[in-house]
Amino acid sequence: MKFLIVGLGNIGDEYANTRHNIGFKVLDAFAKASNLVFDNDTRYGATVSGRVKNAELLLLKPSTYMNLSGDAVRYWMQREKIPVENVLIIVDDLSIPFGSLRLKGNGSAGGHNGLKSIEARVGTQQYARIRFGIGNDFPKGAQVDYVLGEWSDEEAKRLEERIPIAVEMIKSFCLAGLQNTMNQFNNK
């Protein structure tokens, strides 16, 4: 079984430690824990292949910027012949509390431009996503600044506890499937 695991974010040093880049952070942690090194020179993003037991994984950090993430997802799905049911997207989510992790098998983009792009390019909402809560502690009209803002010191400390759980969710998705992973990890 082959899986495409996509962490959403924006390329460039100015975005490296922003809330919007939690997908990149999770994949970096996965790669580090598995002694994998991303190739930054592949088409549409940085990629690395690895295994979790009998599952073959292709990790992708798109270089298309958030609003065009669907181009990278569609390209790698087609190139590697990975069906949509074996795609997992890691994405930031304003609508759930900071540090909360929710796995869903489908759903709307919820206003997230990266998910809107994936839906448009892949042609469906029927793909799995880990929604990583970044909270919504910002004044009205300041959503963009908040999402593109850097983590507070307190948030950065809590991320060290939450990111490893997201890594375990990826492994479980590939080995135990969507429903079992949702049952094990959602609301914890």
Q: For the chain, what is the mean pLDDT?
A: 94
Q: First CA to last CA across the chain, in angstroms?
A: 28
Percent of the chain scoring above 90 in pLDDT: 87
Q: pTM of the entire structure?
A: 0.95
Q: Judge whether 60 and 6 are in contact, CB under 8 Å.
A: yes
Looking at residue 188, its pLDDT comes to: 67
For 172-185, the pLDDT digits (tens) are 999 999 999 999 99
For 107-152, the pLDDT digits (tens) are 999 889 999 999 999 999 999 999 999 988 887 878 888 989 999 9
Dihedral pair phi/psi, residue 120, rounded to 5°: -65, -40
CA dist list (Å): 182 to 86, 127, 130: 15, 14, 10
3-state secondary structure of 127: coil
Report which of residues 48 and 1 the model is more confident about: 48
Which one, of 33, 77, 28, 54, lies nearest residue 174 by Cα? 54
3-state secondary structure of 18: strand
For 150-165, the pLDDT digits (tens) are 999 999 999 999 999 9
What is d(CA 135, CA 99) in angstroms, rounded to the nearest whole number? 8
Q: How many domains does the chain have?
A: 1
Q: Judge whether 170 and 30 are in contact, CB under 8 Å.
A: yes
Q: Which of 8, 18, 20, 98 is catalytic?
A: 20
The question of whether 20 is a catalytic residue gets the answer yes
Question: CATH number of the domain that 31 lies in?
Answer: 3.40.50.1470
- Which amino acid, residue 114? G
For 73-91, the pLDDT digits (tens) are 999 999 999 999 999 999 9
Whether the per-residue pLDDT at 43 is higher than 80: the answer is: yes
Looking at residue 143, its pLDDT comes to: 84
Q: Which domain holds residue 23?
A: 2-185
